Amino acid sequence: MRLLLIEDDPEAARFVLKGLREGGYTVEHAADGRDGLFRATEGKYDAIITDRMLPHMDGLAIVQLLRQQGCETPVLVLSALGNVDDRVRGLRAGGDDYLTKPFAFVELLARVEALLRRKAGQQATTALKVGDLELDLLGRRARRAGREIELTSKEFTLLEFLVRRAGQVVTRTMLLEGVWDLQFDPQTNLIDVHISRLRQAVDRGFDRILIHTVRGAGYVVRDDGP
Amino acid sequence: MALSERPPFSNSFRTSAFRLAIAYCVLFTVSVSALLGTIYLITGSVLANEVDNVILIELDQLADEYDREGQNGIIAELTRLREAWGRAGAIYLLVDPTFAKRAGNLSSWPFSGVPKERWLEFDIEALRDGRVVNDPVRARVIEFPDGYRLLVGTEVSERRQFQERFRAATLWAIGLTALLGALMGLWLSRRLMGRVRAISTACQQIVAGDFARRLPVGGSRDEFDALAVAVNHVLTRLDQQTATVRATFDSAAHDLRGPLFRLRGRLEELQGSVGLGTEARSSIDRALKDIDSVQRTLGTLLQIAQAESGAALAESARLDLGELAQEITELYEPAARAQGLHLQCSVENAWVNGHRQLLTQLLANLIENAVNHAGARALIQVTVRASAVGACLQVADNGPGIPVADRERALRPFVRLSRASSTGSGLGLSLVAAIARLHQARLSLEDNAPGLCVVVQFQAARPENTPQDHAVPAAPAPRADAVA
């Protein structure tokens, strides 16, 4: 997987590059907007990570130009400008996700992974399956080992969000954004309580648990096999 | 902050322009009435005097004739006058003491007996255009020493007609004056109201977040243009200041978040390195938590600045406050229950125009505030009610509450009341206040007896068909989350 990072702050770039390479990605780096746009247009990348405030050219302008040229490569916008409307502007300009600095590195990794997976499979489905857990998306019903699981509507949405990203780390912020449509940072760990209730419903009484906690990062739904 | 009033000129009859126009109209009409009335009265009396004088002079002459020539002389004179028709409309009648006619052009004595009044008015029958009509006559009678009586009069139908026409003309003139005055007044007040409404509409749009708008300047260089130019000048200055503040906040955010990001990166890198003791690791964990807390405070400050600048209104849309409150309450409910609190929600559909993310923050802050401060086993109730004036949000708890004296202070930034000393940045309620102000909602801290009840009264949403230049989808979900 080839990534392009456009970031002018050398220290921040070094840290992100190192982290992404340790995560198994091939990453190229552009230190200003003009170079970034040039590489993004010329090279073949699976995803682009760009800062917003760059020398010579704004990160959003790069995204807009790329989209105008018909480039569909997923773009993650990083920004030190972090009010909620900046985020909306970033997404409207054609960015696929928006992350406010400073962020924990696991957050970046999880989002990059989500972007790459999104590109991989976009087919519409009516049913999802992980291990012996089956989700009927039309009837909004879940069954595990053939037995119906009682879920509230929100719990089903939460489970669907996780199962759609099976095998992929989903952070708490991603859950807040994706399931609750919220861009804010609650003081308490609200998500953990919802997940533990979901676990009660899905994993209780089964030997193999499907909802795993990834320490310091978030959650992943995964069937580890027998 | 307070609910803005309805447009003050929904009824055109209440405008001061209209009242002024009505006052002028009444004054003008009264003046014209007085003038024409006076002319009418004076003309009437002049005409009457003229008739009377002619009658008196003729009566004198005939009396002299009688004195000089006796009955036969006056009869001859009357016959001569009757043949000559010297004076238009002249009426003569000489009667003997039994009221039998002796001479003149009147067929019979028109009264029964001798009338008491000096001036007499009666009708005579005359043929005009083949029809019998009653003509009014004004006359005077003298009695001679031998018992004969002489009546001299004038047929006054022309005078009457003239007077009637004059009266009708006067009334028409007054009526037309009143009508014209009223029309002028209406036109004038419409015109003034149009100008004021244009200014008022522009002001409302500016308050609603369209900061680039200016008051309309008509080009007629009248007092309204002078006012509009002055206000536009003020608006431009304010706009420049807001832009400066915004730029300052943006660069402050950038300059603070950059170093924080590098700091976080180094600490995370350090965390990943091998050979660290448990103590060092927990130190790093605590440092990362501190960075989170600094970041949160910084974010809150930026949100306050964003709300106070009013720029966020550009992203506002019509949304159901009840549904939003329900969603946020459900998000917090399990965590509250885990802490032994009861968090309840009772909402109805209540449409408001608002910034979804900021309203979410407002709700979250109020609920977090109650969860943190209401104390163990407290009952927290979130209520949304819709009414004609708008939507009312209440977040009430039965905790210790806030003393009346401290309530206003609690809304200021960085103020921690004693009960709030343990957690929070001290910015939560001031962010709530800023978001309420942005939405022109009224925020009040009230006594829940016991406990605190925070009331936010929103205005009702504009009708759905109102054009929304910058309306965004209420749910700006990132595309990455929309598909598997």
pLDDT tens digits, one per residue of B454-469:
999 998 877 654 444 4
- For residues B325 and B440, membership in a common domain is answered with yes
Number of domains in chain A: 2
Check: CB of residue B94 under 8 Å from CB of residue B75.
Answer: yes
CATH number, domain of B338, equals: 3.30.565.10
**Cα–Cα distance for residue pair B21/A219, rounded to 1 Å:** 75
Percent of residues, chain B, with pLDDT higher than 70: 88
If asked whether residues A12 and A112 sit together in one domain, one would say yes
Q: For chain A, give the mean pLDDT.
A: 88
* Residue with tokens 């399956």, as numbered in its chain: A129
- B321, two tokens: 């406050």
pLDDT category of residue A170 using cuts at 50, 70 and 90: very high
Mark whether B346 and B260 lie in a shared domain: no
The DSSP secondary-structure symbol of B276 reads -
Position A100, amino acid: T
Distance CA B216, CA B237 (A): 17
Provide the number of CB pairs (under 8 Å) joining chain A to chain B: 149
Asked if A27 contacts A62 with a C-beta cutoff of 8 angstroms, the reply is no
- Enumerate the residues of chain A whose CB falls inside 8 A of the CB of residue B258: 9, 12, 80, 101
Residue A3: pLDDT over 90? yes
A29 and A61: one domain? yes
Question: What would the pLDDT profile of B370-379 be if each residue is shown by its tens digit?
Answer: 988 888 888 9
CA-based nearest residue in chain B for residue A13: B262
Residue with tokens 């790329």: A66
Q: Give the C-alpha separation, B274 to B98, whole Å.
A: 155
State whether A194 and A103 are in the same domain. Answer: no
Quote the pLDDT of residue A159: 94
Structure tokens, B92: 């003569």
Identify the pLDDT of residue B464: 56
Q: What is the pLDDT of residues A19-55, one digit of tens each?
A: 899 889 999 999 988 999 999 988 789 999 999 888 8
A127 lies within 8 A of chain B by CB: no
Q: How is residue A103 annotated by DSSP?
A: -
A76 plus A144 within the same structural domain:
no
pLDDT band (50, 70, 90) for residue B383: very high
Which residues of B129-207 form beta strands (DSSP E)?
Answer: 131-143, 149-155
pLDDT for position B98? 86
Q: Give the pLDDT score at B12.
A: 57
Q: Which of A80, A122, A190 sits opposite B258 (nearest CB)?
A: A80
Is A226 a domain residue? no
Single pTM value for the model = 0.66
Inside any domain, residue B473: no
Distances (CA, A) of A122 to B112, B333, B479, B481, B482: 121, 34, 12, 11, 10
Q: What mean pLDDT do residues A155-182 have?
A: 90
Which two three-digit tokens encode residue B330?
């459900």
pLDDT, one tens digit per residue, over B26-50 is: 888 898 889 988 988 898 888 888 8
To the nearest whole Å, the CA of A43 is away from the closest chain B CA by 22
Q: What is the pLDDT of residue A77?
A: 92
Q: In B85-156, which ranges are continuous DSSP H helix?
A: none
Tell which of B331, B345, B371 to mutate to test the A interface (max A CBs under 10 Å).
B331
* Residue A184: predicted pLDDT: 76
| C-beta of residue B111 within 8 angstroms of C-beta of residue B104 | no
Q: Tell whether omega for the bond before A102 is within 30 degrees of 0, i.e. cis.
A: yes
Cβ contact, residue pair B258, A125, below 8 Å: no
Determine contact, residues A58/A86, Cβ cutoff 8 Å: no
Within 10 Å of residue A121's Cβ, how many Cβ atoms? 10
B480 touches chain A (CB under 8 A): yes
pLDDT of residue B384: 95
**Which residues 81-120 of chain A have a CB within 8 Å of chain B?**
81-85, 87-88, 91-92, 96-98, 100-105, 111, 114-115, 117-118
Residues of chain A contacting B361 with CB distance shorter than 8 Å: 184
Is the pLDDT at B65 greater than 60? The verdict is yes
pLDDT of residue B241: 84
Among the candidates A71, A105, A120, a domain finishes at A120
Quote the pLDDT of residue A226: 66
Pair (A86, A145) in one structural domain: no
Q: What percent of chain A has pLDDT over 90?
A: 39
Write out the residue range of the structural domain in which residue B459 sits. 316-463
Using CB atoms and an 8 Å cut-off, which of residues 210-269 of chain B contact chain A? Answer: 250, 253-254, 257-258, 260-266, 268-269
Contact A112, A75 (CB under 8 A): no
Residues from chain A contacting residue B261 (CB–CB below 8 Å): 9, 12, 80, 101-103
- Decide: A194 and A210 in contact? Cβ < 8 Å: no
Tell me: the pLDDT tens digits for B87-140? 677 888 888 888 888 888 888 888 887 888 888 888 888 777 778 888 888 888
Q: What is the ipTM of this complex?
A: 0.85
How confident is the model at residue B86, as a pLDDT?
58
